[in-house]
Amino acid sequence: MCAQTENDNPDATVQLLLDDATVSELEREYTLIRQAEDIAAARARGVRFGRPIKKPPENLATLVKQWESGNLTIFELLEQTGLKQATFYRRLREHRLMKRKKCTIKMFTF
């Protein structure tokens, strides 16, 4: 009769897999903690994450007025601003919101 090895024991194999899973889970938790600490430290140093913000040109209001009056096509406007169409429409929405807020503020100032 031969001696039973660890590889022949199904319970030992299951226990080994459970131990490996536990270690992997702990490593993942430590990684997440270190990552969160590093992100917090970077933000404290002033590091910005994500895609850089593309600022609208200074003459955006003038170009929008020309576009709305039909003097500029959308393609000409996009070429002059250097913005993509989605970015332009987002900036246009922001521009109109700011314009509305300024009107509202002027109405309530004494």
CA distance 97 to 90: 11
Average of per-residue pLDDT across 79-85: 90
Residue-range definition of the domain harbouring residue 34 = 9-44
Does residue 78 carry a pLDDT above 50?
Answer: yes
Is 85 inside a domain boundary?
Answer: yes
Predicted TM-score (pTM) above 0.75:
no
CA distance 82 to 88: 9
CA distance 94 to 104: 15
C-alpha distances in Å from residue 62, one per residue of 8, 19, 43, 104: 80, 67, 37, 22
- Better pLDDT: 17 or 66: 66
Same domain, yes or no: 40 and 68 = no
Same domain, yes or no: 101 and 65 = yes
Does residue 102 carry a pLDDT above 80?
Answer: no
